[in-house]
Chain A
Amino acid sequence: MAIEQELAQASNWLVYSAMAVYTGAFGAFVADLAGRGARAGLDTARDQARELAPVGSASSVGGSAAGSDVVLVAAGESDRPERALGIAMSLTWLAFVLHVAAVVLRGLSVHRAPWGNMFEFATTGAVVVTAVFLAVLRRHDVRYLGGFVIGPVLLTLGLAVTVFYTEAAQLVPALRSVWLLIHVSVAFIASALFTIGFSTSVLQLLQERRELARAAGRTPGRGRFMDALPSSVDLERTSYRLHIAAFPLWGFTLIAGAIWAEAAWGRYWNWDPKEVWSFVIWVAYAAYLHARATRGWDGRRAAYLAMFGYACLLANFLVVNFFAVGKHSYAM
């Protein structure tokens, strides 16, 4: 089937437009956090109030909702940061719409699912990250994560249009399979959740350092905006939720990949570099879940394992795709 180059061109322009709008959203998210940091003194007072409030309470389960209430109240004291957050969210939605349109047009231009090469993996993967973020927002107010989600999305798109760019074209026969559709799309969703979970784990560790410093009577250093974020305990729980949603999806990715491998090469498990790394990622996150359930291991050490898992995920995409020789080098 012929490639519609005009559609592909339009898709490229949309990618650039989305990047511009994402940049605005990113700026607004940063401004929002900075604005909160500027009132850190106020928030610290709030923190102390928060610590006083649940005296006699047996539970920490309610912490997250109560915590975000405090955040919202604090943010409401001056409407400037609220406004920044509002702008950030509007821009994120706008960028998301442009981004989705770009991906759809790319798919239409080549008459297939738009994930057949690195450029398409990156653009479509990034749109899934935004989508998952927006979906999570419907249930949990984690807008404070915005900058840490849109940042990686922008970075991915930047890499896509510079390093990975590939002309719109048909797929090589080795990639023509429904399993490409299933295997890759689920991998996208899992990776998006892992990405947001990773950002949350990083924040959790930073937050914990500040809390420890404060407990030791020192004033924590830079990054006062952190005071506007939930406590490390709550961040840890959010991160865990994201990871447990991602883990079975990654497991499914492995299984779907094995089914496809069987159809393509006859052997469902070949230990080719891509498979090795997918397996390593799975084991690393299994270790994370184990660590969290292991007595004597705390959220911090588990978080390091989650970050190790994410490092493997990045390596799988950025390093293995380029340097390893294996069956996944997409030619026959």
Chain B
Amino acid sequence: MASETRGEPATGVNFTEYDAEPPITQPALGPLGWLRWAWRQLTSMRSALLLLFLLAIAAVPGSIVPQNREDPGRVSDYLDAHPTLGPWLERLGFFDVYTSVWFSAIYLLLFVSLVGCVIPRARVHLRAIRQAPPRAPRRLERLPEHVSLLAPAGTPAGASTDAALDAALAALRRRRYRVVDNRTAPPAAGASAGRPGGWGERSISAEKGYTAETGNLAFHLALLGVLVSLAWGSLASYSGQAVIVQGSTFVNSVIDYDSFGAGRLVDTGTLPPFSATLKDFVVEFETADQGNQFGAPREFEATFEVVDRPGAAPRTAVVSPNHPLDVQGTRMFLVGNGYAPVLTVRDGAGNVAFRGPVITRPQDGNYKSLAVAKVPNAVPRQIALVGVFLPTYDLQDGIPVSQFPQPLDPRLMVNVLLADPGVDGLDFRSGTPQSVMRLGPGMTMALGDDGQPLKILLAPGTSAPLPDGAGTVSFDGLTRYAAMDIRRDPSKGWALGTALLALVGVTASLFVRRRRVFVRAVDGADGVVVTVAGLTRGDDAALGAEVAAIAAATVPEGGPVADPGGGPATDQSTQQTNGQTRTEEQS
């Protein structure tokens, strides 16, 4: 609709006060001119559009290339696999896309643009809200939608122009328009009495749908709020991982975490001192052996005994996926699980050099798990046991596999590595427990009689001697562990609130229609001629129906007027507007 009304003065027939985005002209010389020009460029809709598009594109690589924040292990695997491309990607920040300079630059520019765009708009809108709807334009037929009806002399609305306008006022108020009765309103500057815009002008101006623009502004500002919440969250939150073996206790202090990270605003010395003991851990898998679901996870339920603060009475809490444990805002999430075989290693001198659960890392859906036990203080030689744990042991083509995730027939199968005292033993690449291990210099793999690496196969309750008189190893029993993410993020309520505000705002902005309606009453030959005209901002196919409905409500007994626009109206729902017949459309 805009093309027809664009360019009119801002009095009533358009919404140009909102379309104030100035044309961007060539800058006047001088640094200030250039600055102003750049600012205008940045805060234009066109730049916002470009930046939005760039943001969409820039977010994609992070879903293709592995990310450090997700899984540093996969990043180093990727670097190994792509020796030429990898380092370049690393230099360009592709392994940390969402904190990279270029990604940050795009969204920061977008938000600067947003502020520069929204603040002036908010000012305009505030002014519009405080101002009364504008005076009725001279010629209502020039508006995109208009209807004229004749109120016959004998009817209530046809009694006088005042009666007709009063009926219009009531109809508009019922429809929750903000109205100005131009009969009593002070005149517009420069208008004379009785004329359009002057004292006693027999017309009404009405407007509604301010919420659309309010919603739009709220939406854009709320997006800013989401960004601020995220930023604050990264400063004020902490998180870490801890592996808790059945029967053992986790205490919420930095030393009990396997890995820990905190924002700058977190005082890591004063984490809330709660503790949680893993009492019981129920794990179930699909046992129905038809279909492709055999062995799929079915139930994980970790029962903790929680002490909320030192000295408090312990309570029991059950944690399962999607149901974290909440201790005064710090939350513990069950994110993984696995087996922890309990081993005892005696060294060559007969001393117990190691006793306890060994955390294994599941490698497949049937929990074939990587097991590593290092015994550096064994004498006369250091010992390391490296191999796999198989909950349901089987041999397939000579290769040991697990057939089911539950421990139906568990086995531990390990190689033995030995080293002289003081030698740096096994070398794990940091943070990548699943990756290949490297042997430190000086470690030697014990060989069997056949010259192949010696394999020790242990069932629970059995033990075996280690070669070279290095000692013995026994597999005492089996426990499970729960891998927990522990996290506190005070920003999440703010992030949610601002995101919901954005959602409500954009919905209002898209669905509420900003409309201006003008009603004028004129004495005619045999009654009062009431003209209703409407104007909208943006896309509003139902405006015609609205105008027709207001006219019908004002003059229920009204009939068609011989009007330059055209012929007779047919019925309530088909009104004469702009000389074109239109069926009422509701949307």
Interface residues, chain A, CB within 8 Å of chain B? Answer: 3, 53-54, 56-62, 64-66, 69, 139-140, 166-170, 172-174, 176-177, 179, 237, 240-241, 244, 247-248, 251-252, 254-255, 258-260, 262-273, 276-277, 279-280, 283-284, 286-287, 289-291, 293-297, 305, 308, 312, 320, 324-326, 331-332
Q: How far is the CB of B406 from chain A (nearest CB, A)?
A: 15
Q: How far is the CB of A44 from chain B (nearest CB, A)?
A: 21
Q: Is the CB of B487 within 8 A of A325?
A: no
Q: Can you name 29 A-B residue pairings with CB atoms under 8 Å?
A: A58-B144, A59-B144, A62-B582, A139-B586, A139-B587, A170-B298, A172-B297, A173-B320, A237-B541, A244-B510, A248-B506, A248-B510, A251-B506, A255-B499, A258-B499, A266-B333, A267-B489, A268-B492, A271-B62, A276-B59, A289-B510, A293-B45, A293-B538, A295-B19, A295-B21, A295-B45, A326-B70, A331-B296, A332-B335
Q: How far is the CB of A138 from chain B (nearest CB, A)?
A: 11
| Interface residue from B19, B67, B507, B585 paired with A64 (Cβ < 8 Å) | B585
Q: Is the CB of A267 within 8 A of B322?
A: no
CB-CB under 8 A from A291, the residues of chain B are 49
Q: Is the CB of A280 within 8 A of B582?
A: no
| Interface residue from B49, B66, B543 paired with A290 (Cβ < 8 Å) | B49
B499-538: CB near A (< 8 Å → 1, else 0) gives 1101100110011000000000000000000000000001
B350 CB-CB contact with A under 8 Å: no
B540 CB-CB contact with A under 8 Å: yes
By beta carbon, the residue of chain A nearest B110 is: A283
Q: How far is the CB of A139 from chain B (nearest CB, A)?
A: 6
B336 CB-CB contact with A under 8 Å: yes
CA distance A147 to B540 in the complex (A): 28
Q: Is the CB of B53 within 8 A of A62?
A: no
CA distance A228 to B579 in the complex (A): 24
CB-CB under 8 A from A258, the residues of chain B are 495-496, 499
CB-CB under 8 A from A254, the residues of chain B are 499
Q: Is the CB of B496 within 8 A of A255?
A: yes
| Interface residue from B19, B56, B144, B230 paired with A312 (Cβ < 8 Å) | B56
B190 CB-CB contact with A under 8 Å: no
A174-B322, A248-B507, A325-B74 are contacts. A283–B59 as well, Cβ < 8 Å?
Answer: yes
CB-CB under 8 A from B436, the residues of chain A are none
CB-CB under 8 A from B349, the residues of chain A are none
CB-CB under 8 A from B48, the residues of chain A are 290
CB-CB under 8 A from B29, the residues of chain A are none
CB-CB under 8 A from B230, the residues of chain A are 269
A57-B580, A62-B578 are contacts. A287–B56 as well, Cβ < 8 Å?
Answer: yes
Interface residues, chain B, CB within 8 Å of chain A? Answer: 1, 4, 19, 21, 45-46, 48-49, 52-53, 55-56, 59-60, 62-64, 66-67, 69-71, 74, 97-98, 142, 144-145, 230, 239, 286, 288, 290-293, 296-300, 320-324, 331, 333, 335-337, 365, 485-487, 489, 492, 495-496, 499-500, 502-503, 506-507, 510-511, 538-541, 543-544, 577-583, 585-587
Q: Is the CB of A332 within 8 A of B49?
A: no
Q: How far is the CB of B272 from chain A (nearest CB, A)?
A: 16
CB-CB under 8 A from A324, the residues of chain B are 63-64
9 nearest A-B residue pairs (beta carbon): A167-B291, A273-B63, A266-B487, A169-B293, A276-B63, A287-B52, A283-B56, A62-B582, A177-B322
By beta carbon, the residue of chain A nearest B335 is: A265
CA distance A20 to B411 in the complex (A): 52
CA distance A254 to B499 in the complex (A): 10
Q: Is the CB of A297 within 8 A of B585?
A: no
Q: Is the CB of B45 within 8 A of A290?
A: yes
Q: Is the CB of B293 within 8 A of A167?
A: yes
A3-B288, A269-B230 are contacts. A59–B56 as well, Cβ < 8 Å?
Answer: no
Q: Is the CB of A53 within 8 A of B580?
A: yes
A267-B239, A268-B492, A271-B98 are contacts. A276–B62 as well, Cβ < 8 Å?
Answer: yes
Q: How far is the CB of B586 from chain A (nearest CB, A)?
A: 7
Q: How far is the CB of B298 from chain A (nearest CB, A)?
A: 6
| Interface residue from A255, A259, A326 paired with B503 (Cβ < 8 Å) | A255
| Interface residue from A66, A176, A297 paired with B582 (Cβ < 8 Å) | A66
By beta carbon, the residue of chain A nearest B4 is: A58
Q: How far is the CB of A255 from chain B (nearest CB, A)?
A: 5
Q: Is the CB of B59 within 8 A of A176?
A: no
By beta carbon, the residue of chain B nearest A244 is: B510
Q: How far is the CB of B371 from chain A (nearest CB, A)?
A: 20
By beta carbon, the residue of chain A nearest B586 is: A139
A264-B333, A332-B321 are contacts. A251–B502 as well, Cβ < 8 Å?
Answer: yes
CB-CB under 8 A from A265, the residues of chain B are 333, 335, 485
CB-CB under 8 A from B293, the residues of chain A are 167, 169-170
A140-B587, A287-B49 are contacts. A276–B579 as well, Cβ < 8 Å?
Answer: no
CB-CB under 8 A from A53, the residues of chain B are 580
